[in-house]
Amino acid sequence: MTQHLNVTAGAGYAVIVDANCWQTLPDHLAHIGLQGRVHIVADHHLAEVATQLQSACGATTTLLMLPGGESTKDYTTLMQIYDHLLTARVERRDVLVALGGGVIGDVAGFAAATTLRGIACVQMPTTLLAMVDSAVGGKTGINHPLGKNMIGAFHQPRLVLADVSLLKTLPQRELSAGWAEAIKHGVIRDAQLFADLEQADPTKAFFDADLVRRAVAVKVEVVNIDEREQAERMLLNYGHTVGHAIEQLLGYGTLLHGEAIAIGMHIEAQLAVTLGLCDAALVRRQQQMLQRYNLPVALPAQLTADDLLAVMQRDKKVDAGQIRWALPRRIGHAEIIRDVTLDTVRAVVATNVSA
């Protein structure tokens, strides 16, 4: 029997990570008492799965197919979902099912949070990155030209149903991007997970539901401690301050989210060394892991330290004018660090800028 992870935030919900489980959605909806109409918002690459799911959920189920790329995560797409739901005469007892990667989960989740002041949402992540990170914890939202995820809401799902068998259809680049968040979880909180990922075969590890579930468990544990990112949950931002700035400057979708986060982790680990929080061996070990999973660590040549700093200072994690950094002390343990001078950050970033 599959071991469920349990999130206590919101009304409380199960996170199910297994193989060949997506067809069980109607049973789970009945079990948790969601009896309204189902509205599926799905990545258009999942048309076959989406139509089968629509049929399984009943004749009144609606379906909206959308592109799943990062450029989709905007106001225009949000309005498409609102139009679809309102035209279908959505009611408060209905449930929105987000079937796709992190982009679909975030924008559909935000639509659920704000339609009729909030309807139930079920997350069905189909990318590794969404499974181990974005589908859990209730963060929803869209991007803004001045920053990533700057418009959104906390809206906990009623269920997360992650089927690892769906990962086999993903391009290798998408799978690699997903491992960035799993590796991050190992660095900040689970040294054994990190060590096991070092030993795993990167081309086959995504078939291991138990390994994926352990990566998800780190996110569940942190969310249960700190739902609203007031303290512990900020540790999950490791690699994201620099990573989000890279994404914005290059244009959303140029790099996959996990690729930008991998570069961010590499630079932020160097910052930790500069601050005396950890030794250079951590940077080398992490770099070897990232590259083993085919993730980049080099800063794109067209970016400058000043450009990156300008964007980072507009980040959501800025408090009283200072960036709050999640930085590692050792593999398996990280801390929130404040009072890092901009000159220190600039110097570290500058060492990664191509001449």
Q: Is residue 355 part of a domain?
A: no
Q: Look up 45 and say whether it is catalytic.
A: no
Same domain, 326 and 311: yes
Q: Is residue 20 part of a domain?
A: yes
Same domain, 98 and 121: yes
CATH number of the domain to which 222 belongs: 1.20.1090.10
| Alpha-carbon dihedral angle through residues 94, 165, 136, 266, given to the nearest 10 degrees | -150
From 70, 181, 247, 268, active-site residue:
181
Same domain, 37 and 144: yes
Same domain, 89 and 220: no
SS3 102: helix
Here the tokens at position 51 are 């139509």
Confidence of residue 1 (pLDDT cuts 50, 70, 90): very low
- Residue whose structure tokens are 């959501």: 316
The average pLDDT across 174-196 equals 95
Q: Is residue 63 part of a domain?
A: yes
Same domain, 147 and 179: no
pTM, full prediction: 0.90
The average pLDDT across 193-214 equals 91
Q: Look up 324 and say whether it is catalytic.
A: no
From 70, 174, 227, 229, active-site residue:
229
Q: How many Cβ atoms sit within 10 Å of the Cβ of residue 16?
A: 20
Same domain, 29 and 178: no
Tell me how many domains the chain contains. Answer: 2
Same domain, 257 and 286: yes
Same domain, 196 and 163: no
Q: What is the percent of the chain where pLDDT is above 70?
A: 97
How many alpha carbons lie under 13 Å from residue 257 in its C-beta half-sphere?
22
Same domain, 111 and 178: no
Q: Is residue 36 part of a domain?
A: yes
Q: Look up 244 and say whether it is catalytic.
A: yes
Same domain, 111 and 223: no
Query: Which domain does 116 fall in, by range?
Result: 5-169
Q: Which of 169, 198, 232 is the last residue of a domain?
A: 169
From 37, 139, 189, 213, active-site residue:
139
From 237, 259, 266, 268, active-site residue:
237
pLDDT in tens, 280-328: 999 999 999 999 999 999 999 999 999 999 999 887 666 666 889 999 9
CATH number of the domain to which 77 belongs: 3.40.50.1970
Instruction: Please give the C-alpha separations between residue 14 and each of 143, 181, 273, 293, in angstroms, as whole numbers.
Output: 28, 20, 38, 29
pLDDT in tens, 86-103: 999 999 999 999 999 999
The average pLDDT across 138-151 equals 90
